[in-house]
Amino acid sequence: MRVFALRLGTAALAASLAACALKPVGPDYHLPASAIVNRPGAAAPFAQAPASAAADGSSPFADAPLPPSWWRLYQDSRLDGLIEKALAHNTDVRVALANLEKSQAADDAVAGQGRPALSVDGGPAFGHVSGLTYLAPDYVPPSTWEWGGGAKLSYDLDLFGRLKRAIEASRVDTEAAQAALDLVRVNVAAGTARAYADACASGLRIASAQHSTDLQQQALDISVRLQQAGRVGITDAARARSQLQSLKAAIPPLQARRQAALYRLATLAGDVPLDFDHDVAQCVVPPHVAGIIPVGDGAALLRRRPDVRQAESQLAAATATATIGVVTADLYPRVALGLSVGPAGLGNDFLGKDTFSYSVGPLISWTVPDTGVVRETQTALEVYARELDRHAALQAARDESATVASQARRLYQSGRTGYLDALDA
């Protein structure tokens, strides 16, 4: 009955301590009221249909949200392959992914502090204890085998929200790392699509310029034959030859632009510039969106953009609301429930009934605030305040000296005082 009452009291104590958990100390983070996403206009349609589409009731835009794999809207298998390769092999993506995994591991470590901690130990030992342990000065205990073992279970009640605030602070860092990874992926995908479009558009312009050059070459050949026949003068042939050279001069810049786009594609995919996809070099059809473009509204765009999410997470980290809660909670005592059970005894009484022991109860720890830091801060503030007083007094003295000097200068100019008096002032 006595043991049962003890256990019941321990359980009641644990339940009462858990019920006493207070609201976490420290301020909570809230989205600033001035945020653009809170404005009424942010929920308005993001794009207006052109007048030509409004006339027949059709629109190239839709209010549906943009899909994650937005590049598939082009329905270009070659572009899909280039972007998937870039996302898999781009160095910046791998670095951002490693940073996210690091932050997630830190999350798990912080969250683990809020779960029960179990430790097990045990092992044999040979020797004897001091006779004074038994308060027998002349007694020398015999050497023998001793063994011991046990298990310890502890759980932090987190009465003042220290662990919760620590988890919040760690989660903010993870959200920022996730947004940074999403931002890198968006930039890599957009850069790949842009480079692919530049390569194909340059190929189309090169083909068009080459076709114009061929037509001008034919016109030049006709002008030369007509000149030889005496039908036209030398000026017409020279003009046609000049136009041909102008058309040829437009091709090298286009070729350089296409080559630069191909180099960007290779770099974004984690390859050296010369290892670009040679099939893309033959592309002469720029990608275009097939069907209606889903754009959503402004509020959805702001919530979806990774740079906005990263900035918000960095704002939450900069204001350090969760960190303030962690530091504030350190001013209060920490209460944890502890349970220890295990056997211990001599080697000849291994696992006997009288070798088992257990203990259960709250573990309270309280770190005394560092008064030295407070004293240093107060001293620094006092010195700063006195320096401000000194600065104000010096400014007043300077103003008075300036007034005296001005008056002495006027007296000297009017001949009422000597030069040395004016100079001294």
Digit-coded pLDDT (tens) for 101-155: 988 888 888 877 778 877 887 777 777 777 667 677 777 777 777 777 777 888 7
pLDDT score recorded for residue 56: 57
Which of residues 332, 357, 384 is at a domain's end? 332
Q: Is 222 a member of any domain? A: yes
Whether residue 213 sits in one domain with residue 99: yes
Q: Is 55 a member of any domain? A: no
Whether residue 322 sits in one domain with residue 277: yes
- 29 DSSP 8-state letter: P
Q: Is 60 a member of any domain? A: no
Q: Is 59 a member of any domain? A: no
> How far is 341 from 345, CA to CA, in rounded Å?
14
Whether residue 134 sits in one domain with residue 150: yes
Whether residue 362 sits in one domain with residue 234: no
> How far is 263 from 277, CA to CA, in rounded Å?
9
* DSSP characters over 287-340: ----SPEE--BHHHHHHH-HHHHHHHHHHHHHHTHHHHHHHHHTTS-EEEEEEE
Q: Could you tell me which residues come within 8 angstroms of residue 419 by beta carbon, excluding any fewer than 6 positions away?
A: 412
Whether residue 39 sits in one domain with residue 179: yes
Q: Of the candidates 281, 292, 268, which has an alpha carbon nearest to the alpha carbon of residue 193?
A: 268
The torsion defined by the Cα of 37, 43, 49 and 50, in degrees rounded to 10, comes to -50
pLDDT score recorded for residue 413: 74
CA 165 → CA 315, 329, 414, distances in Å? 16, 9, 75
> How far is 346 from 367, CA to CA, in rounded Å?
39
Q: Could you tell me which residues come within 8 angstroms of residue 94 by beta carbon, excluding any fewer than 6 positions away?
A: none
Whether residue 413 sits in one domain with residue 353: no
Whether residue 308 sits in one domain with residue 236: yes
> How far is 420 from 425, CA to CA, in rounded Å?
9
> How far is 175 from 37, CA to CA, in rounded Å?
18
Q: What are phi and psi of 409, to 5 degrees?
A: -65, -40
Whether residue 89 sits in one domain with residue 215: yes
Please compute the mean of the pLDDT values over residues 391-395 and round it to a whole number.
90
What is the torsional sign of CA 229, 235, 236, 241? positive
Q: How many domains does the chain have?
A: 3
Whether residue 403 sits in one domain with residue 309: no
Which of residues 332, 357, 391 is at a domain's end? 332
> How far is 323 from 328, CA to CA, in rounded Å?
8
CATH number at residue 363: 2.20.200.10
Q: Is 53 a member of any domain? A: no
Q: Is 173 a member of any domain? A: yes
Q: E strand or H helix at 165, and its extent?
A: helix 162-228
> How far is 86 from 194, CA to CA, in rounded Å?
13
pLDDT band at 401 (very low <50, low <70, confident <90, very high): confident
Range(s) of the domain holding residue 361: 115-157+333-368
Least confident of 190-194, 241-245, 289-293, 371-375: 371-375
Whether residue 134 sits in one domain with residue 89: no
Q: Is the pTM of this model over 0.75?
A: no
From the CA atom positions of the chain, what is the Rg in Å?
A: 41
Taking each helix axis from N to C terminus, what angle separates 162-228 and 321-329, rounded to the nearest 10 degrees?
A: 160
Q: Is 56 a member of any domain? A: no
Q: Is 219 a member of any domain? A: yes
Whether residue 146 sits in one domain with residue 16: no
CATH number at residue 313: 1.20.1600.10
pLDDT in tens, 203-261: 999 999 999 999 989 988 888 888 888 777 788 888 888 999 999 999 999 999 999 99
Which of residues 283, 315, 332 is at a domain's end? 332
Whether residue 235 sits in one domain with residue 291: yes
> How far is 183 from 96, CA to CA, in rounded Å?
9
